[in-house]
């Protein structure tokens, strides 16, 4: 014990001297830099999206003005967007997007011409500062909850729209107000809104409004292989006129992986155009997959899709659509994306009244987006 006490007496002065010598150095250290304030400079960006294709319609055949049977084929531009996006402040951002459409109005001097129309025009209020990142509210002509969600997984809008949109049950854009809340930890989100219900192509026709809501859950956001799995439900309630409802419901599973994206969706719809008319119930489903050879979203990729619709469950009519194709996605340059797709599409219209011919198309599609 005496030896330890002597050692402690010898060591203690040395420790005190070391602390005393190091104190000035600590005191002379610069204070930590203040956090950099967020950039609130207004900004604006301009981009574009182009869909172009060459399509051969093998079925049905057509007849020209001399009565000759022909196989229709044409070069077309299916979509041309000019995207103007910007930020007024960290709180407020906006988007303005005109879209092309073929003018087909009877007696119009522009009949047959490609004309621009408004597709999106909205203000977005970013609520990240008060809630979770990715939470916002929108007002104006904007994306509807379902189409925008599925198209973020299905990259082949330049071949054709997703099942519910292609069959005319819902639209990609409408005028209204909506709110999106993102769950913390990337567990999913909820997007709900009140819309005119007439889509972006027509003005409001009555005093009825459409309510749409989509809820999505990502069960395993931290799992290496299964984080891309999401389960979703969508509901749309509107009315053609008072006491004549229009309803749509969709349940779906989507999956995203470096080597494949895939989805299955089931649709149930009910339409009653007038209060005295019969309600028509429709059912259908769609399944698709896009296996790819390389990671990173570039290189060769396949497209396999099958849709089935019963437009009226009280009748035997049904429509099936089969799409098979091969695409090449060019290497990215910043945010620019480009791709070429060759596909075959066959549509079988069975027992429709009035009768509708089957359809078969061969096409080469091009996408340019920046």
pLDDT of residue 17: 46
Query: Strand, coil or helix: what is 25?
Result: helix
Residue 356 within any structural domain of the chain: yes
- Structure confidence at residue 21 (pLDDT): 45
In whole angstroms, what is the distance from residue 94 CA to residue 83 CA? 11
Token pair for 239: 């009315």
- What Å distances lie between residue 332 and 5, 39, 84, 228, 356, CA to CA? 73, 27, 21, 22, 42
Q: Residues near 234 by Cβ (< 8 Å), separated by ≥ 6?
A: 145, 146, 212, 213, 214, 215, 248, 249, 250, 251, 252
Q: Which two tokens stand for residue 302?
A: 């396949």
Q: Does the residue 12 lie in any domain?
A: no
Report the C-alpha gap between 322 and 334 in whole angstroms.
34
Residue-level pLDDT at 29: 55
- 166: part of which helix (H) or strand (E)? helix 163-166
pLDDT tens digits, one per residue of 80-121: 999 999 999 999 999 999 988 777 665 666 666 778 889 999
Greatest CA separation for the chain: 123
According to the model, what pLDDT value does residue 351 have? 84
Question: Is residue 3, in this structure, part of any structural domain at all?
Answer: no
Number of domains forming the structure of the chain: 1
DSSP label of 209: -
Compute the distance between CA of residue 261 and CA of residue 302 in angstroms, rounded to an integer: 10
Q: Is residue 9 part of a domain?
A: no
The ranges of the chain with pLDDT < 50 are 1-9, 11-12, 14-27
What pLDDT was estimated at residue 255? 98
**DSSP letter string, 269-313:** EEE-SSTTSPPEEEEEEEEEEEEBSSSTT-EEEEEEEEEEEES-T
C-alpha distances in Å from residue 301, one per residue of 53, 92, 293, 369? 18, 38, 6, 18
Q: What is the pLDDT of residue 135?
A: 97
pLDDT of residue 151: 96
> Does 26 map to a domain?
no
How distant is the alpha carbon of residue 41 from its chain centre?
Answer: 28
Check the CA dihedral 135-141-145-147 and report its sign.
negative
Nearest of 133, 256, 135, 145 to residue 211 by alpha carbon: 145
State whether the Cα torsion 4-8-10-11 is positive or negative. positive
Contact 281, 313 (CB under 8 A): yes
Q: Is 20 contained in some domain?
A: no
Torsion (CA) 73, 79, 80, 82 in degrees, nearest 10? 180
Helix, strand or coil, per DSSP, at residue 169: coil
Each residue's pLDDT tens digit, 19-35: 444 444 444 555 666 56
Domain range for 305:
40-369
Q: CA-to-CA distance for 178 and 147, rounded, in angstroms?
A: 14
Q: Report yes or no on 25 lying in a domain.
A: no
Q: Is the residue at 61 inside a domain?
A: yes
CATH code at position 99: 2.40.160.10
Q: 330 with 316: CB under 8 angstroms?
A: no
Token reading at 293: 């050879």
Using DSSP's 3-state secondary structure scheme, residue 362 falls into strand
Helical segments of 189-256, H only? none
């Amino acid at each position: 014990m005496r030896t330890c006490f002597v050692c402690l007496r010898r060591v203690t002065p040395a420790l005190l001297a070391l602390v005393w010598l190091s104190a000035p150095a600590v005191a002379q250290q610069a204070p930590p830099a203040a956090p950099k304030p967020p950039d609130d400079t207004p900004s604006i960006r301009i981009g574009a999206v182009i869909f172009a294709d060459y399509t051969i319609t093998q079925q049905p055949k057509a007849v020209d003005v001399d009565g000759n049977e022909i196989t229709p084929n044409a070069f077309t531009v299916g979509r041309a967007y000019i995207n103007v996006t910007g930020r007024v402040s960290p709180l407020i951002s906006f988007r303005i997007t005109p879209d092309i459409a073929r003018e087909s109005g009877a007696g119009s001097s522009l009949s047959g011409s490609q004309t621009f129309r408004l597709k999106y025009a909205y203000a977005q209020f970013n609520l990240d500062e008060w809630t979770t990142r990715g939470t916002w509210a929108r007002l104006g002509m904007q994306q509807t909850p379902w189409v925008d969600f599925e198209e973020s997984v299905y990259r082949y809008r330049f071949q054709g729209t997703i099942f519910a949109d292609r069959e005319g049950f819902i639209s990609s854009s409408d005028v209204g107000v909506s709110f999106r809340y993102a769950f913390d930890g990337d567990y999913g989100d909820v997007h709900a809104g009140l819309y005119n219900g007439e889509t972006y192509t027509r003005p409001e026709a009555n005093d009825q409004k459409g309510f749409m809501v989509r809820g999505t859950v990502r069960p395993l956001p931290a799992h290496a292989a299964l984080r891309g799995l999401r389960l979703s439900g969508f509901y749309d309630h509107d009315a053609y006129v008072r006491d004549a409802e229009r309803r749509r419901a969709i349940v779906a599973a989507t999956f995203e992986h470096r080597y494949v994206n895939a989805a299955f969706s089931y649709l149930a719809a009910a339409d009653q155009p007038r209060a005295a008319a019969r309600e028509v119930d429709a059912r259908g489903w769609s399944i698709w997959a896009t296996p790819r050879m390389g990671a990173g979203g570039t290189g060769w990729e396949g497209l396999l899709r099958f849709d089935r619709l019963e437009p009226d469950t009280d009748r035997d009519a049904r429509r099936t659509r089969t799409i098979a194709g091969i695409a090449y996605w060019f290497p990215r340059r910043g945010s620019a994306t480009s791709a070429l797709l060759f596909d075959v599409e066959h549509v079988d219209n069975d027992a429709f009244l009035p009768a509708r011919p089957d359809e078969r198309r061969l096409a080469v599609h091009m996408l340019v987006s920046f």
